[in-house]
Amino acid sequence: MSLENYTRAGQIASKVRENTRKRNHIGRTLYEICNSIEKEIIDNGGHPAFPVNVSINEIAAHYTAEPDDQIVIKDTDVVKIDLGVHIDGYVADTAVTISYDPKYDQLIKVAELSLSEAIKIAKNNTKSSEIGKIIENTISHNGLKPIQNLSGHSLDQYIIHAGKSIPNIRTYGSSFSLSSNQAYAIEPFVTTSDGLGIVYEGKIRNIFSLVSRKPTKDKGADEFIMYLWNQFKTLPFALRWLVSDFAESNARTILDFLIKKKNVRAYPILVEGNNKVVSQAEHTIFIFENKSYIITK
């Protein structure tokens, strides 16, 4: 049953997130952080649903470690760690923001508070626009800004973004309602009052997913497509996950080819428009009858 798999994935994700929250990451490389979190997920009986995102300061999302990434966490950094666990493709998605500088405590606290307030009203038939309104009101009442063009999302088996978005701002016009027997990730992103409140795509793209298995007429590329499907299905993956089976240069070349052929999608990092610091908080909820369960609590 999907609820059982979601629940198990959520228990693992919650445990790993809280261990990550407590750990001192100063001086650790991003490669070390991503690998250790993913190993902990596997050691607890789960599978990483996507490469662990370690997005620092003005990078809001979608940075994962390159193979042997030597970027080091400093004591002035604000670090968003977004992790996902799947059991048989059923995904629990959660995130925590970590900082060792007290001046960012409010930024982190407000992300967590807006998430908590949103979850209080999330149940069967709640309109997504109402969730966005609660998130924006909570953030703005605390003198900060929500990121307008990032949102939560519905989840489905082997699909992290399953077509429905939960906004982090009030929206007007039609909006969908949450429905029973469905999982949703709610994830407010918060920036400072002088931030733009919008993210833009950066140049770095180091997270990928397979979007089509259409043959390319290139034997090596087609074999690579089957490898990706067998390993990850439609879930995102990182280049560093491939280097045990392929030479890094060869994997990069084939990925570039498959991106051009539109078999593979590359996800750019997302950067705050005024290069201001961003915080994030995230839980996955499962709506069952008229109750919502925080599976990553």
Number of H helices, E strands in the chain: 6, 16
Shared domain check, 158 and 42: yes
Shared domain check, 214 and 265: yes
> Among the options 82, 112, 136, 272, which is catalytic?
82
Shared domain check, 135 and 39: yes
Asked if residue 152 has pLDDT above 70, the reply is yes
> Among the options 161, 218, 222, 248, which is catalytic?
161
Q: Are 92 and 7 in contact (CB under 8 A)?
A: no
Q: What is the pLDDT of residues 78-100, one digit of tens each?
A: 999 999 999 999 999 999 999 99
Q: How far apart are the first and last CA of the chain?
A: 20
**Does the active-site annotation cover 161?**
yes
Looking at per-residue pLDDT, the higher value among 272 and 288 belongs to: 272
**Does the active-site annotation cover 187?**
yes
**Which tokens hold the place of 1?**
């049953």
Q: How confident is the model at residue 3 (pLDDT cuts 50, 70, 90)?
A: confident
Q: Work out the percent of the chain whose per-residue pLDDT is above 90.
A: 95
- Domain with residue 80: its CATH number is 3.90.230.10
Task: Please compute Rg for the chain using Cα positions.
Answer: 19
Shared domain check, 288 and 154: yes
Q: What is the DSSP letter of 65?
A: P
Shared domain check, 275 and 242: no
Across the chain, what does the average pLDDT equal?
Answer: 96
Shared domain check, 13 and 48: yes
Distance, C-alpha 203 to centroid of its chain: 18
Query: What gap in Å lies between CA 259 and CA 94, rounded to an integer?
Result: 28
Shared domain check, 249 and 131: no
> Among the options 47, 58, 282, 283, which is catalytic?
282
Shared domain check, 90 and 7: yes
Q: What is the pLDDT of residues 112-134, one digit of tens each?
A: 999 999 999 999 999 999 999 99
**Does the active-site annotation cover 86?**
no
How many domains does one find in the chain?
2
> Among the options 25, 187, 272, 283, which is catalytic?
187
Shared domain check, 250 and 119: no
> Among the options 38, 69, 77, 93, which is catalytic?
93
Residues 6+ apart with CB under 8 A from 270: 55, 59, 60, 61, 62, 150, 199, 200, 201, 202
Which among 193, 98, 100, 187 is positioned nearest to 141, based on CA atoms? Answer: 193
Q: What is the pLDDT of residues 43-64, one digit of tens each?
A: 999 999 999 999 999 999 999 9
Q: How confident is the model at residue 157 (pLDDT cuts 50, 70, 90)?
A: very high
Shared domain check, 146 and 107: yes
Q: What is the pLDDT of residues 187-246, one digit of tens each?
A: 999 999 999 999 999 999 999 999 999 999 999 999 999 999 999 999 999 999 999 999
Shared domain check, 215 and 172: no
Query: What gap in Å lies between CA 89 and CA 5, rounded to an integer?
Result: 8
Asked if residue 1 has pLDDT above 80, the reply is no
Asked if residue 30 has pLDDT above 80, the reply is yes
Q: Are 88 and 252 in contact (CB under 8 A)?
A: no
- Domain with residue 242: its CATH number is 1.10.10.10
Q: How confident is the model at residue 291 (pLDDT cuts 50, 70, 90)?
A: confident
E strands, the chain, are 47-48, 53-56, 59-61, 78-87, 90-99, 145-146, 151-155, 165-167, 182-186, 189-191, 199-210, 237-238, 264-272, 278-280, 283-288, 291-294
Q: Position 230: which residue type?
A: N
Sign of CA dihedral 110, 112, 113, 114: positive
Q: Which domain holds residue 134?
A: 2-200+270-294
Which among 35, 91, 29, 70 is positioned nearest to 243, based on CA atoms? Answer: 35
Q: What is the pTM of this model?
A: 0.95
Shared domain check, 264 and 142: no
Query: What gap in Å lies between CA 286 and CA 122, rounded to an integer?
Result: 10
pLDDT at 193: 98
**Does the active-site annotation cover 222?**
no
**Does the active-site annotation cover 77?**
no
**What string of DSSP letters covers 108-157?**
HHHHHHHHHHHHHH-STT-BHHHHHHHHHHHHHHTT-EE-TT-EEEEEBT
